[in-house]
Each structure stands twice: as structure tokens, then as C-alpha cells.
Amino acid sequence: MIGPVIVLVLILGLCLVGVRIGFATLVVAGLAVAMIRGPGAAMTLIGQEVEGIATAYPLSVVPLFLLMGVFVHRAELSQDLYDAAQMAFARLRGVLAYATILSSAGFSAACGSSIATAATMVRVALPSMRRHGYGDRLSTGTIAAGGTLGIMIPPSVPLIIYGSIAEQDIGLLFMAGLLPGLILVGAFLLTVLLCLVRAPLPHMPQGEASPDRAQRAGRAALPVLALFALVLGGIYGRIFTPTEAAGIGAFGAGAIAVARSRLTTLRDWRNCFSETASVTASLFMIIFGASVFAQYLNLSGVSFAVVDMVARMDLGPTGLVCAVAVIAIVMGTVFEAVGILLLLVPVFLPALIAAEVDLIWFGIVVVLVVELGLITPPVGMNVFVVKANAPDTALSTIFLGVLPFACALLAVLLIVIAIPPVATFLPGLMGRN
């Protein structure tokens, strides 16, 4: 039998040579299961796991929400959100920094991806910020930090992945992420304010903050805001399921793109569907790998050993969550978001269940930790996304720029750990069992 340490080393080794983590986990965990149960039994188990996941109705939200995000990007709604956010903060100094955070939050609500949010906003916001005299540290740091909102404000791809691994209701996870996401937006806005105390910036020129422009910006941003309200409002009000909400969101985003003449040819539609299919396939491969990896942990006895170890340590639910969060923070310096979810959640899930930890609450905690990993070295995926789109900016400058935002994110993480109702209040109002 292959031991768990060897399995992890093999998975890491394959990832280091460029193999996708989902495929690496599926292959290594599958071989490990074969050595325990035999090749025939392993193939049967893997087939059952893959079939069960591929035909799971709740996971049909994945391609639909991804398609919604692709349509929103195609309709170029990010620029409209940015313009509207500028008007909202037009009377404040440093308006473009505030606008970047707020528009990142709005784009996240229709995208669900941190990297996509950061990549989009750096193209939208950075040229304007540089033109108005913003330093690279503040501008790139704000953009990289704003991108992290893409995986907390629903719909969130990491929350969907976590929900599939932990077998939690995705609609409840979305609602649980809403309040912490809004608190995080507020914390980032406060961070911008504190940064501007040290380095004041001018007001927006009066010509750029005219009432006519404000009205135009508001009207242009209204469709995406209405779409966000419809999707989340429908889920919260139990008017439709998350899957139905995803379908309505994708249809609405597509209609907006058509109305703006952004989907005019068959090639445009084919590109949108092709991009959605490619990302969906990658995410489902990750979920397949996580499922088989979890089966290996059960068959090898690792899950039971972790449960026994945690029981002997007598940490209690909050202590256990804190311990797992610390491990996840350390992993965040090496792994990207999906890797943390894939390797961490299956290992500790049985212990969390045995300790009667609220798995909806824990899901929000672990996603906040994943967010922190997106802007902390040495991986800091969002930082590298910004760097790729701003090659003339030193990597150290961007990391220094996101440091205050990382502290704000850590503070929100501690709040959610210390006050679980921050994450569980809205799911409770939805009549959670």
C-alpha cells in the first residue's frame, strides 16, 4: 500500500512538473486505491464516483454560472461598473481607489472568479489611476486585493467546489458568503481611506464628475446590478433553486450582451461556449480528483487517524477550525486556491463532522483563508495576474501594495471565526435545517 505521505509527495511532484492538480490527484489517488482494493475494484469505484459527480444535479450550477461570467465579460460591464462606482465616490479624495474596490465587488457578483476579476479590473482601472497620478503601490495593490472578492461574493466557484467536496447546500453557502463578503468590501474601503491619510490624492476633476455623466454611468450599470439582485434575491427568497438561478443569470447576461451588440456572430457564441466548456471540464476534473482522494483517505485509515488525533487533542469546534485555518494559511504560501480545497478539506472533513463543526461556517472560513493566499507571497496568484498586465511594475511593489489589504482580510477572517453568526445568520433565515 502507498502511504499518505508518498501519495501527497507524488501529487506535489506531478504539479511541480506542470500536471494539472485535478488530473494528478485523480491518477495518484486512483493508483493508491488500486493497491489497496485491487485494479478491478478501483476502476469500479472511480467509475462510480465520476458518474455520480457528472450526473449530480446541484453541480449543474457550475457551467451555468461560468457562462454567466463569460457573457458579462463579453458585454464589457466591468467598465460600466467602474464608471458608476467613480460617481458614487466622486466627492472623496482617492475616488478611483474606492471605485476599484466597489466595481471589483460588483463584477465578482457576476463572475465568481478571483483571477478573472483581477485580470479584468487591471485593464479597466490601472490606466485611469496612472493618468490621475496614483502611485503604483496603491493602484496595483487595490486591484489585486479587489480581485479576491471574486471568490467570496456569490456566485463563487471555490464555494461550489467546497460544497461538492463537503456535500453542503450550494445555495446556503452562497448566502453564508454574502455578509462576510460585504464586510470585506467595507474593510477594503476603510483600508483605502487609511492608505490615503498617508498619501493624499486630489479629487476627481469637476468635468469628470458631472451630473450628466453620473446619470449615464448609473443607467449603464443598472442591468448587471439588477441581474445580481435577481439571482441572489431569487435564491434567498426560495423563488428558485441555485441551478435555476444560474440558468436565469446566464440567460440574462447573454441578453445584455446581445442588446449591446457584443454577441452578433456565430463565432462570438462559439467562443463563449468553448471557454465555458474548457473551464467547466477543468473544475470537474478537480472535483473528480477530490472525490477519489477522499475515498483513498477512508480506505487507508487516514481519516480515522485524523479523527482520533483531534479527539485526543480535545481542541473543541472553534479550536479545530483555528488549527485547520492556520494549516491552510501555511498551505496558501505554496498552493493556489483550488489546491488548498482539494488537499485540505477531504483530510479534515471527518474530524470536523465528529467535532460537530458547522460546515457552512467552516466553508466561509476556509474560503477567506484561500483569499488571503491569493495576495500573499510567494504564490499570490492575483499579484502575478496584475504583474502580467503591468510588466513595468516591480513584483515587490505590488506585494507591498496588497499588504494593508491582507491585514484587513486577516481581521475579517478572525471576526468570522470569533462570531460564527456572521456566516450562519442568512442561511438561518432561509429556514436551514
| Span 53-82, pLDDT tens digits | 888 887 888 888 888 888 887 877 777 778
Percent of the chain that is helix, strand, coil (3-state, to 5): 80, 0, 20
| Span 111-168, pLDDT tens digits | 777 877 888 888 888 888 888 888 889 899 999 999 888 888 877 888 888 888 888 8
Buried b (16+ CB within 10 A) or exposed e, 128-158: bbbebebebbbbbbbbbbbbbbbbbbbbbbb
pLDDT given at position 2: 66
Q: How far apart are CA 139 and CA 218, in angstroms?
A: 24
Which residue segment(s) compose the domain that 367 sits in? 4-429
With beta carbons less than 8 A apart as the criterion, state whether 162 and 342 touch: no
Q: How far apart are CA 124 and CA 41, in angstroms?
A: 52
With beta carbons less than 8 A apart as the criterion, state whether 401 and 142 touch: yes
Which amino acid does the sequence have at 209? A
- Return the residue matching grid coordinates 500573499: 376
pLDDT given at position 390: 84
Q: How far apart are CA 409 and CA 117, in angstroms?
A: 17
Q: How far apart are CA 50 and CA 60, in angstroms?
A: 14
Q: What percent of the chain has pLDDT over 70?
A: 93
Helix 61-74 vs helix 242-259: crossing angle, to nearest 10: 20
Residue 64 — φ and ψ, nearest 5°?
-70, -45
pLDDT given at position 206: 46
Provide the sign of the torsion angle of the four alpha carbons 215, 219, 220, 225, taken in this order. Answer: positive
With beta carbons less than 8 A apart as the criterion, state whether 32 and 1 touch: yes
Low-confidence ranges of the chain (pLDDT < 70): 1-2, 199-218, 333-334, 336, 431-433
For the chain, what is the domain count? 1
pLDDT given at position 215: 67
pLDDT given at position 207: 44
CA end-to-end distance (rounded Å), the chain: 40
Provide the sign of the torsion angle of the four alpha carbons 275, 276, 281, 282, taken in this order. Answer: positive
Q: How far apart are CA 262 and CA 254, in angstroms?
A: 9
DSSP-assigned letters across all residues of 91-111: TSTTHHHHHHHHHHHHHHHHH
State pTM to two decimals.
0.82
pLDDT given at position 403: 92
Q: How is residue 118 written as a grid cell?
A: 483581477
Could you give the 3-state DSSP secondary structure of residue 175? helix
The closest alpha carbon to 362, from 229, 163, 69, 155, belongs to 163
